[in-house]
Amino acid sequence: MSALPTGLVVAAHGRHCLVEADDGSRRICHPRGKKSQAVVGDRVRWSSPPTGQGEEGSIEAVEPRRNLLYRQDEIRTKSFAANLDQVLVLIAAEPEPSEHQLARVLIAAEAAHIAPLVVLNKRDLPEPFARASQRLTPYRAMGYGVHTASLRAEGSAELAPLLQGKATLVLGPSGAGKSTLINQLVPGAAVLTQEISYALKSGKHTTTSTTWYWTDATRTTAVIDSPGFQEFGLHQIAPRQLATLMPDIAAHADQCRFYNCTHLHEPGCAVLAAVGEGGDIAPRRHAIYADLFAELSQPPRY
């Protein structure tokens, strides 16, 4: 097995994967067995078909991953990408960002040990931008990297140093400017995506597939575009684990009177004592925690 060439999965759709060899060439590969375990960002070992049996190869093994970002609802798991250096969450002053959705992505990134970046776009809209920036104050206080941009007016040049030499997954809701950012970082990305889509026989499903793009000729900096921000389940996380993945809650959780405190109603709860005026947990952040704790505590409905 070790004699087989290695490659990088740069796109996937169903049982089809596009694998990039070390020399930059690409070929469609299919997994051995009934189900594909490879996701974008995986390093795989692949084999060529016998002479005369076409050009598509086979994925023989997936190399061990450094990490995997995924979401999970009650029914299914959606993997975004593997072996990431960071995840960039792009939100905008308008439409007003959902703090619940932002919190979900940050929690998933914490659980996967992937560094997150938050970028607030549309700095050229002064009033909504000021409101949105104010709402991000707790995230700055928690130590998250919070950056700003005006992609349509000023471009993405100021963000480029944050991405240099790294593999960055870009997530964001509709209207935040994700397509603008990807196309500025990767000129011709839309055309390349169409080519990949048709190569994988996914055709009209172009916008539903995760795609890996190199931003430089030396293939040292990559951005990974993926849909799936709107529905972001966290059922892979146990309710009692939740507090450890929210830095503002975690900072106080080990000071509670009871070791099994839920941080919702117990006497002597250090988390509740830190909520509100004079404390360093914003009430809306604790409300998000309470909502997620209730959601993750529900018994399965199947």
Q: What is the pTM of this model?
A: 0.91
Q: Is 35 annotated as a binding residue?
A: no
Per-residue model confidence (pLDDT) at position 31: 86
Position 59, amino acid: I
Structural domain includes residue 1: no
Q: Is 121 annotated as a binding residue?
A: yes
Higher pLDDT, 107 or 52: 107
Distance CA 281, CA 25 (A): 50
Structural domain includes residue 231: no
The mean of the pLDDT values for the chain is 90
Asked whether residue 145 falls in the same domain as residue 248, the answer is no
Asked whether residue 87 falls in the same domain as residue 144, the answer is yes
DSSP 8-state code for residue 275: B
Asked whether residue 245 falls in the same domain as residue 188, the answer is no
Q: Is 176 annotated as a binding residue?
A: yes
Per-residue model confidence (pLDDT) at position 62: 93
Asked whether residue 200 falls in the same domain as residue 159, the answer is yes
Asked whether residue 171 falls in the same domain as residue 106, the answer is yes
Q: Is 143 annotated as a binding residue?
A: no
Asked whether residue 259 falls in the same domain as residue 142, the answer is no
CB–CB of 73/231 below 8 Å? yes
pLDDT score of 263 more than 80: yes
Two structure tokens written together for 183: 């196309």
pLDDT in tens, 157-177: 999 999 999 999 999 998 999
pLDDT, mean of residues 40-62:
83
Q: Is 174 annotated as a binding residue?
A: yes
Helix (H, G, I), strand (E, B) or coil at 7: strand
Asked whether residue 127 falls in the same domain as residue 180, the answer is yes
Q: Is 153 annotated as a binding residue?
A: no
pLDDT band at 203 (very low <50, low <70, confident <90, very high): very low
Structural domain includes residue 302: no
The rounded percent of the chain whose pLDDT value lies above 90 is 72
Per-residue model confidence (pLDDT) at position 206: 42
Per-residue model confidence (pLDDT) at position 201: 62
Per-residue model confidence (pLDDT) at position 300: 72
Q: How many domains does the chain have?
A: 3
CB–CB of 57/27 below 8 Å? yes
Per-residue model confidence (pLDDT) at position 188: 74
pLDDT band at 231 (very low <50, low <70, confident <90, very high): confident
pLDDT band at 54 (very low <50, low <70, confident <90, very high): low
Domain closes at, from 190, 225, 260: 225
Asked whether residue 72 falls in the same domain as residue 197, the answer is yes
Position 258, amino acid: F
Return the CATH number at 245: 1.10.40.50
Q: Is 73 annotated as a binding residue?
A: no
The rounded percent of the chain whose pLDDT value lies above 70 is 90
pLDDT band at 35 (very low <50, low <70, confident <90, very high): low
Higher pLDDT, 198 or 191: 198
Q: Is 207 annotated as a binding residue?
A: no
pLDDT score of 51 more than 50: yes
Per-residue model confidence (pLDDT) at position 32: 79
Per-residue model confidence (pLDDT) at position 207: 46
Strand locations in the chain (E):
6-13, 16-21, 26-31, 43-47, 57-62, 68-72, 77-82, 86-92, 115-121, 145-148, 167-171, 211-214, 222-225
Domain range for 148: 68-225
Distance CA 72, CA 246 (A): 18
Q: Is 17 annotated as a binding residue?
A: no
pLDDT score of 204 more than 50: no
Please list, in sequence order, all residues whose beta carbon lies within 8 angstroms of the beta carbon of residue 8, skipping any fewer than 6 positions away.
19, 20, 41, 42, 43, 44, 212
Asked whether residue 53 falls in the same domain as residue 83, the answer is no
Q: Is 263 annotated as a binding residue?
A: yes
Q: How far is residue 204 from each of residues 28, 81, 194, 301, measured CA to CA in Å?
A: 18, 21, 9, 33
Q: Is 180 annotated as a binding residue?
A: yes
Structural domain includes residue 80: yes
Q: Is 173 annotated as a binding residue?
A: yes
H helices of the chain, in order, are: 99-112, 126-135, 137-141, 151-154, 160-163, 178-185, 189-199, 247-253, 270-273, 283-297
pLDDT in tens, 98-148: 999 999 999 999 999 999 999 999 999 999 999 999 999 999 999 999 999
Position 140, amino acid: R
Q: Please report how many Cα atoms fall inside a 13 Å half-sphere around the Cα of residue 107, on the Cβ side.
A: 30
H helices of 18-91, in order, are: none
Q: How far is residue 119 from each of residues 97, 122, 267, 301, measured CA to CA in Å?
A: 11, 10, 38, 36
Per-residue model confidence (pLDDT) at position 118: 98
